[in-house]
Structures are given as structure tokens and as C-alpha cells.
């Protein structure tokens, strides 16, 4: 009687167990040899350790699946359930191979990202490269997963037949799929556009939705903004392609910030400038590029003093502004208390008596006298500070006073330098002379 080849015997199971042991030993041996070689390289090259961390388990899994498939093929060569088992092993090999390929690509991107350091002051190029690498690695991983799933599906005969019919009606299917996945595809294309248009990069300082924060992560669908108070603002990629936003580190991390103080009219801007110089010399937050103190407004009973300082990046600038503000307030309290903001109230004559008597206060109008005031009473004495002209002098402003300031002004306005032909006094004399000449020619009282 001929034995049934479709029924596994104990010899088959014994051979399968032996094959499994051999496969495990072979996998461990090959993995150990490769690990020894890579670790020897890692002692000299930094990328060896990264390769071991990335590809160790995918490589072992791929070898193990192949070995088990070979063991089953050797132990059960003619079993009726072999086609189904072979199909399962084929799917497992595709998955393990896709995992290994994806980890290999991630290893290459890790090498690329390690070349660009972001822990330096001017890291604009590094941040752009890292942003693009992050988007590319996510996109490639998605492509690998989609291809793996597609290959697995096409291992089924029914799916291959369905694929032929789908290709025949690809136009209708593409339209329906495009409408259904419109928002997803829009965000995906927006993410790729953000990565390669250089509009934003990882670690860029931005203002979005009236919030100050830093770009932490850029994916194919959304952007994560880390706010200053440790909150996270998650926005779709289409937000940055359809709405305006502020990017403080688009071209450079260096920034210029303002500190504004509303003070009394008795404040001394010159003394404030001297103290500002001393304050900035005592701190490492200031990068030394620019420092300006100007009176930008003088209405409503107050004088508005604006201080402009520069720093290497946005966080340092924030601390520098707070430091300068605190130091100037402390100095005003100690050295110039009369410069502190004060509200002045004019009380009409007799108002106190009217309030005490309970009657309505009467407004008293004082008539102005046409008597000419004595000029000597209002003229300051010689040598007085008031005789000194109030002008720019040697003081440099943000846009005037130095060649750098003038260049900065041209960068903002794209203006052509204007050459002053005559002083204001000379121009006034010329105008008066012209008027006298015209008056002599057309005088109604002529002879």
C-alpha cells in the first residue's frame, strides 16, 4: 500500500525541527558575523553604530523568514497545503524586505542630517536641509509602504483580475478618488511645497494665530508649532500656503527689538543714552550690532522713548528686552524720579470753594493782555544748557548718522540719496529776496 504524501509523517516533522534549528543557528551566525564587522567599522566610523541600530532587527527578521521558508520547503516538499503556506511566507518576505529597505533609507537620511548641525548661531542652511530631509524620508517611507501593500495585494489572483478592470476604468476611478481625498492630497502637496520652497524650516521662529512659537515638526499633513508657554499649536500644511504669517528667522536668526517707555516731559534722553550704554556693556545678551534710543512721540502729556537693541536670536532678544526695560525703570526710579509718568490736572480758580459750598463750579475766563513780554525775562542766560542747540550732533540713529544706518535706510526704502543744495536759512533768504524784487516791480505805491 502506497503512503499518502499529503499527510505529514513523523519523519517530516523531525526533519522540519532539524531544519528550524539549523536555520536559527545560521541566522544567529550570519547576524553575529555581520554585527562584528559593522561594530569594528563603528569604532573608526560613526555611521557604523547608526547602521547597527537601524538595520539589526529588520535584517534578522528577513533572514529568519527566509530560513523558515526553506525549512518548510525541505521538510514538506509535496503537501497539499504548501501553496497557502508559500503564499504566507511570500507576504512575510515582502513585509520584512520592505522594513529592511525603509530602515536602510532612514539610515542614509540620518547620515545626511548629522552633517547639518543646528546647535550653532547661524544655522539657516542646516535647518533648511534638515527640514527637506525630514519631508523626503516621510515621503519615501510612505511610498515604500504603498508599494509593499500593492505587491502583496497583487499576489492574490482575484486582486490581479480586479486590477485589470480598474486600469480599464482608470479615468473615472481617478476622478472619484481625487474628489474623495482632496483635503488629504492638498495637505500632502502643501507639505512637500513647504519643504522645498523654504518658506518655513524646522526651528524657525514664527508668529501664527497671534502666537509666538518655534517650528518643531513638519510632516506631510500638518505642522507642529511649539509655543513659548510649552503649548503645541498643530496647523495643517495648507495654512502656511494660504494664509500670511510672520517668519522671524527667514534669512537670519539675528533680530532687532524695541523697548518703549512713556515718561514725563522732564526726562533727559541724553542721560538715558549714557545709562543704556552702561547697561548693554554689562550683559552678554546684546550682540553689539545696534543700539538706539530715540524720542518717537511727545503727545498726550507723555514723552515716548523707544530703545532698539539687537540680539543673535529671538529667545535672546526677548531676555535682552526684559533686561533693558527693568534696568531703565530701576534707573529712572533712583536717578530721575521726576521723569516718572505723572497725570497733571488743572483746577479752575475757586473750584474748591464751590465744591465745599455745594454750588456748581463757575468757569472763570482770564483775558489775555496785549502787553509785550519782556524778552530778557524769558531769554536764558549765557552758558545755560538751553543755549545749546538740540540736534543730532554725533549721535547715530537707526537710519541716520552713520554709513551703516544710511545703508539700512536704503535697504528699507530703495531710495536715492538726496544731496542738500542749500541750508534752510539760505533758502529762506533767497525766497525773501525774490519777494522783495517782485514787490518793487509791482508796487501799487510807485511814482
Contact 216, 232 (CB under 8 A): yes
Q: Given CA atoms 320, 322, 326, 332 in this order, what sign does their dihedral have?
A: positive
pLDDT confidence band for 263 (50 / 70 / 90)? very high
Q: Output the pLDDT for position 133.
A: 86
Rounded to whole angstroms, the Cα distance separating 370 from 301 reads 28
Q: Which of 339, 359, 393 is the last residue of a domain?
A: 339
Q: Is residue 104 part of a domain?
A: yes
119, pLDDT greater than 70: no
pLDDT confidence band for 260 (50 / 70 / 90)? very high
Q: Is residue 352 part of a domain?
A: no
SS3 sequence of the chain? CCCCCCCCCHHHHHHHHHHHHHHHHHHHHHHHHHHHHHHHHHHHCCHHHHHHHHHHHHHHHHHHHHHHHHHHHHHCCCCCCHHHHHHHHHHHHHHHHHHHHHHHHHHHHHHHHHCCCCCCCCCHHHHHHHHHHHHHHHHHHHHHHHHHHHHHHCCCHHHHHHHHHHHHCHHHHHHHHHHHCHHHHHHHHHHHHHHHHCCCCCCCEEEECCEEEEEEEECCCEEEEEECCCCEEEEECCHHHHCCCEECCCCCCCEEEEEEEEECCCCCHHHHHHHHHHHHHCCCCCCCCCEEEEEEECCCCCEEEEEEEEECCHHHHHHHHHHHHHHHHHHHHHHCHHHCCCCCCCCCCCHHHHHHHCCCCCCCCCCCCCCCCCHHHHCCCCCCHHHCCCCCCCCCCCCCCCHHHHHHHHHHHCCCCCCCCCCHHHHHHHHHHHHHHHHHHCCCCCC
Q: Are residues 178 and 267 in the same domain?
A: no
Write the burial class of residue 370 (CB in 10 Å: 0-12 exposed, 13-18 middle, 19+ buried).
exposed
- Output the domain CATH number for residue 286: 3.30.70.100
End-to-end Cα, the chain, rounded Å: 157
- Domain total for the chain? 3
Residue 120 CB partners (closer than 8 Å, separation 6+): 126
CA neighbours closer than 13 Å in the CB half-sphere of residue 90: 13
pLDDT confidence band for 137 (50 / 70 / 90)? confident
Q: Are residues 230 and 263 in the same domain?
A: no
Q: Are residues 248 and 291 in the same domain?
A: no
Q: Give the tens place of pLDDT for each residue, 197-256.
A: 888 888 888 999 999 899 998 888 899 999 988 899 999 999 999 999 999 888 877 889
Q: Are residues 24 and 61 in the same domain?
A: yes
Q: Output the pLDDT for position 181.
A: 56
Q: Are residues 160 and 241 in the same domain?
A: yes
Q: Are residues 97 and 172 in the same domain?
A: no
The residue to which cell 514787490 is assigned: 439
Q: Give the tens place of pLDDT for each residue, 369-424.
A: 333 334 333 334 444 433 444 444 455 666 566 777 667 655 554 444 444 444 44
Q: Is residue 290 part of a domain?
A: yes
Q: Which of 252, 280, 296 is the last residue of a domain?
A: 252
Q: Give the tens place of pLDDT for each residue, 64-80.
A: 888 888 878 777 777 77
18-22, 44-48, 283-287, 429-433: which has the minimum mean pLDDT? Answer: 429-433
pLDDT confidence band for 293 (50 / 70 / 90)? very high
Q: Output the pLDDT for position 447.
A: 34
Q: Is residue 228 part of a domain?
A: yes
Q: Is residue 180 part of a domain?
A: yes
Rounded to whole angstroms, the Cα distance separating 434 from 423 reads 17
Q: Is residue 128 part of a domain?
A: no
Q: Is residue 300 part of a domain?
A: yes
Nearest to 57 by CA among 36, 13, 87, 27: 27
**Full domain range(s) for residue 304:** 255-339
Q: Output the pLDDT for position 441.
A: 46
Q: Is residue 130 part of a domain?
A: no
Q: Which of 252, 271, 300 is the last residue of a domain?
A: 252
Q: Are residues 155 and 216 in the same domain?
A: yes
pLDDT confidence band for 437 (50 / 70 / 90)? low
Contact 215, 203 (CB under 8 A): yes
Q: Output the pLDDT for position 92.
A: 92
Q: Are residues 246 and 264 in the same domain?
A: no
Nearest to 115 by CA among 134, 130, 104: 130
Q: Give the tens place of pLDDT for each residue, 148-200.
A: 988 888 888 777 666 556 555 555 555 555 555 566 777 778 888 887 888 88
Q: Given CA atoms 369, 375, 381, 385 in this order, what sign does their dihedral have?
A: positive
Q: Are residues 83 and 33 in the same domain?
A: yes
Q: Which residue has the higher pLDDT, 329 or 437?
A: 329
Q: Give the tens place of pLDDT for each residue, 1-33.
A: 444 555 556 666 677 777 778 877 887 888 788
pLDDT confidence band for 142 (50 / 70 / 90)? confident
Q: Are residues 22 and 101 in the same domain?
A: yes
- Calculate the CA dihedral of residues 163, 164, 165, 168 and round it to 10 degrees: 120
pLDDT winner (highest mean) among 38-47, 164-173, 438-447 = 38-47
Q: Are residues 15 and 109 in the same domain?
A: yes
Q: In angstroms, how far is CA 385 from the centroid of its own chain?
A: 49
Q: Which residue has the higher pLDDT, 418 or 114?
A: 114
Q: Given CA atoms 137, 138, 142, 148 in this order, what sign does their dihedral have?
A: positive
Q: Are residues 245 and 266 in the same domain?
A: no
- Output the domain CATH number for residue 248: 2.30.30.60
292, pLDDT greater than 90: yes
Amino acid at each position: 500500500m502506497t503512503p499518502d504524501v499529503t499527510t505529514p509523517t513523523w519523519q517530516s516533522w523531525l526533519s522540519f525541527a532539524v531544519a528550524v534549528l539549523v536555520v536559527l543557528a545560521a541566522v544567529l551566525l550570519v547576524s553575529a558575523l555581520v554585527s562584528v564587522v559593522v561594530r569594528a567599522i563603528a569604532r573608526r566610523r560613526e555611521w557604523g553604530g547608526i547602521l547597527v541600530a537601524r538595520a539589526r532587527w529588520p535584517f534578522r527578521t528577513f533572514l529568519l523568514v527566509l530560513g523558515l521558508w526553506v525549512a518548510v520547503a525541505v521538510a514538506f516538499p509535496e503537501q497539499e497545503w504548501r501553496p497557502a503556506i508559500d503564499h504566507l511566507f511570500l507576504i512575510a518576505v515582502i513585509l520584512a524586505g520592505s522594513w529592511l529597505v525603509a530602515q536602510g533609507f532612514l539610515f542614509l537620511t540620518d547620515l545626511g542630517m548629522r552633517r547639518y548641525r543646528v546647535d550653532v548661531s547661524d544655522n539657516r542652511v542646516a535647518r533648511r536641509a534638515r527640514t527637506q530631509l525630514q519631508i523626503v524620508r516621510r515621503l519615501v517611507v510612505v511610498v515604500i509602504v504603498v508599494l509593499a501593500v500593492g505587491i502583496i495585494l497583487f499576489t492574490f489572483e482575484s486582486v490581479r483580475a480586479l486590477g485589470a478592470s480598474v486600469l480599464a476604468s482608470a479615468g473615472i476611478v481617478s476622478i472619484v478618488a481625487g474628489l474623495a481625498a482632496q483635503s488629504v492630497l492638498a495637505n500632502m502637496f502643501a507639505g512637500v511645497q513647504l519643504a522645498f520652497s523654504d518658506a518655513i524650516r524646522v526651528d524657525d521662529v514664527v508668529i501664527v494665530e497671534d502666537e509666538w512659537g518655534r517650528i518643531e515638526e513638519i510632516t506631510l499633513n500638518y505642522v507642529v508649532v511649539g509655543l513659548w508657554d510649552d503649548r503645541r499649536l498643530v496647523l495643517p500644511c495648507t495654512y502656511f500656503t494660504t494664509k500670511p504669517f510672520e517668519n522671524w528667522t527667514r534669512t537670519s536668526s539675528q533680530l532687532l527689538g524695541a523697548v518703549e517707555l512713556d515718561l514725563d516731559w522732564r526726562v533727559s534722553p541724553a542721560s538715558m543714552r549714557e545709562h543704556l550704554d552702561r547697561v548693554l556693556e554689562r550683559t552678554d545678551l546684546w550682540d553689539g550690532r545696534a543700539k538706539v534710543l530715540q524720542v518717537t512721540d511727545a503727545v498726550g502729556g507723555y514723552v515716548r522713548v523707544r530703545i532698539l537693541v539687537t540680539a543673535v536670536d529671538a529667545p535672546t532678544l526677548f531676555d535682552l528686552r526684559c533686561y533693558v526695560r527693568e534696568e531703565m525703570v530701576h534707573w529712572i526710579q533712583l536717578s530721575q524720579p521726576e521723569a516718572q509718568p505723572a497725570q497733571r490736572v488743572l483746577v479752575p480758580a475757586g473750584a474748591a470753594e464751590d465744591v465745599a459750598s455745594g454750588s456748581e463750579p463757575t468757569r472763570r475766563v482770564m483775558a489775555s493782555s496785549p502787553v509785550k513780554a519782556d524778552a530778557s525775562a524769558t531769554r536764558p542766560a549765557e552758558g545755560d544748557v538751553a543755549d545749546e542747540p538740540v540736534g543730532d550732533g554725533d549721535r547715530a540713529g537707526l537710519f541716520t548718522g552713520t554709513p551703516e544706518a544710511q545703508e539700512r535706510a536704503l535697504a528699507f526704502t530703495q531710495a536715492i540719496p538726496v544731496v542738500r543744495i542749500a541750508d534752510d536759512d539760505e533758502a529762506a533768504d533767497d525766497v525773501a529776496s525774490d519777494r522783495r524784487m517782485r514787490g518793487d516791480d509791482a508796487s501799487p505805491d510807485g511814482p
